[in-house]
Structure 1
């Protein structure tokens, strides 16, 4: 399923989490996605930095759409996602980039990178998605 970022954003507006975070997909290509979202105090933990669960969710969205952009994939579900948080994130807009690094018959592996508004790498993820083929 390869659709434009605009169509994808419109479709995902049905999901409350997507709306709450304020995610905007800017690029979706074969095995790749890039999204952004702004800093919002409602997304922070004590101390004023972005809550790790919010970044985890954004990274999951990015990985999922990178997988779903593969031509042979009908649907996908996250099987596993590991995130290493490297630096506090308190300046947006935040950018999350996901790239498929391995495609199997039933599983796809994705590398995910999260950057703050200064373009500093702040989190790295590696995930596996179960796929349903056409």
Structure 2
């Protein structure tokens, strides 16, 4: 499945990503990158990128990086730690996730958000758990 097909799936399954203007631009083994623009939908008071948006796009993108190595049927975020380093004011923004280590059930991924000038806005480290059953299946 190509990136455009994945974006169509994301927008139908997770409408919040369409609301944020998120679009996946790169998907390869152990890596994913996406872009989104500065818009009223991603800003907080003061006209800067909202921290919750930063968390959401990191979770989504880093999760896709983990998914490229998932041999199971589902996965969930176990932990996501983000350092906010600079205010995000100059879009478009690029967010990337790269797998650091994959185990049989646990995968660790690092992520970054940069602005249009290449300034590092946020740095993240997260853990995903690979599942053999879909969430909600008993």
| TM-score normalized by the length of structure 2 | 0.91
**Matching residue of 1:66:** 65
RMSD over aligned CA atoms reads 1.3
Alignment-derived partner of residue 124 in structure 2: 125
Greater shift in the superposed pair: 124-133 or 49-58: 124-133
- Corresponding residue for residue 93 of structure 1: 92
| Per-residue Cα deviation, 1:56-103 (whole angstroms, up to 9, x for no partner) | 100000011001111524321111000000000011000001000011
Aligned to 1:55, what secondary structure does the other structure show? helix
* Worse-superposed segment, 41-50 or 82-91: 41-50
> 1:56 aligns to what?
55
Q: Any idea what SS the aligned residue of 2:96 has?
A: strand
**Corresponding position of 1:46:** 45
Is contact 1:28–1:34 with CA below 8 Å preserved after alignment? yes
Structure 1 equivalent of residue 8 of structure 2 = 10
Q: How many residue pairs are counted as aligned between the two chains?
A: 132
Instruction: Write the distance in 1 (CA, Å) between the matches of 2:74 and 2:114.
Output: 27
2:105–2:129: 8 Å Cα contact kept in structure 1?
yes
Instruction: Give the corresponding residue for 2:114.
Output: 115
Please, which runs of 5 or more residues in structure 1 have no aligned partner?
none
Gaps of 5+ in 2: 134-138
